[in-house]
Structure formats: structure tokens, C-alpha cells
Amino acid sequence: MDFLTWIIVGSIGIYVLQGMEHRRRVRLLGAHLAPTQVEKLMGGLIEGYMRALDEKEPERRQQVWSILDNSEKTLADQLQRLADSFAQENAQDTRVSTLPLALPYFDRLMPAHTFDMREALQLHARAVRDACAPDGVDPDTRKRMAFTMTAELLLLQHTCHWFCKTRTIASMRLMARQKTTYEQVLQSVSRNTLAAYKKLVGTV
């Protein structure tokens, strides 16, 4: 075969292997998500924050915030359950490549250029727990905490998509679905989250 044919064959092989690896990762993460309500609670919280902020009547707004307070705590518990469950997986199966190109199995060949999804989920579980609003905060503080929690949840979504696909695709999905950039989300999470995240995944 000539050089061009080898390139075509190689490209097809890489594409097939990529697809297999992506499907494996989706199944792996999905198996741990399935017993939880993490995805449902995340969606409900983000929508609920919008309703609370749009509510004009103070009494009704406070009722919405009270419901969201409970949802936040439930999500924190569920997310910790997810992180603890995923922590039982083998390190070889939970590595996420930080390289620009998503070449199949490079996370196993070049572990120095990866982060561990098990550690990432523990990081996000702590971040969400810390972002939960305490009882009795004033309205302005509650709004700020809702903004921070939203950013924490979007970063969690981004990490999950990164694990299943690539960081580039995760960032594109974030923009397409939430009209928000990866950089904006990083600027909006708590300082503790950002510091721990940068330490885990490297310079972003």
C-alpha cells in the first residue's frame, strides 16, 4: 500500500478505537450515575435558581429558596455517593487525558499527562457541599451562593463530558447548552474549587 492508503487506514483505525473508548467511558460513568438522582437534581436546581430570581413576591421567593435549600443538600449527598462509588474503579480505567489531541489509549501510555476522574468527582462533591447555602442567609448572599453553585454544577458537567469525550468537546457542549464558556465557569466557582481544580488538571 502507498503512503496515502496507510494514512487512510490508520485514520479509520484511530476513529474506530476512539469510538470504542468513548462508549466504554460513557457506560462506566453511566453505571455509577444510574442509581443516583444527580442529573435530575442538577437540572432542577439550575432551573429553580432562575425561578427564584424571577419571582417578584418576597414570600413566594422565600418558599422557592427553601425548596432549593433542601435540593442542594440532597444533591450534595447524592454526589458524594457517586464519588465514593466511582472511587472503587481501577485507576487504569479512570484516567483522563489532558493532551490537546484525543488519541485512543494515550491516557494509559502517557499517565503524566492525565488526571484521575476519581479524584475529580471527590473534588466536585466537596465543592458542591461547600456551596450549599446555610440557613438564615440574607437575600443578596443567597443570590451570590446560587450563582456560585450554578458554576460548580456546570464545571462538574464539563468534567463528566471531558471524561467521556475530550475537553474541547466538553467546552463546546457547555457553550451550546448553557451559553457559557469554560473560562467563565472557572472564574465563577469558589477560590477553593479553582485552586484544587488547577492542581488536579494542571494549568487551564
Instruction: Give the pTM.
Output: 0.89
* 61 within 8 A of 55, measured Cβ to Cβ: yes
At which residue does the C-alpha cell 427564584 appear? 52
Compute CA distances 131 → 15, 153, 183, 190, 197, whole Å: 40, 10, 19, 8, 15
The pLDDT score that the predictor gives to residue 101 is: 67
The pLDDT score that the predictor gives to residue 105 is: 64
Considering only residues 104 and 138, tell me which one the structure prediction assigns the higher pLDDT: 138
> How far is it between the farthest Cα atoms of the chain?
75
Average pLDDT over residues 39-58: 93
The pLDDT score that the predictor gives to residue 126 is: 98
The pLDDT score that the predictor gives to residue 112 is: 76
125-162 confidence digits (pLDDT tens): 999 999 999 988 998 999 999 999 999 999 999 999 99
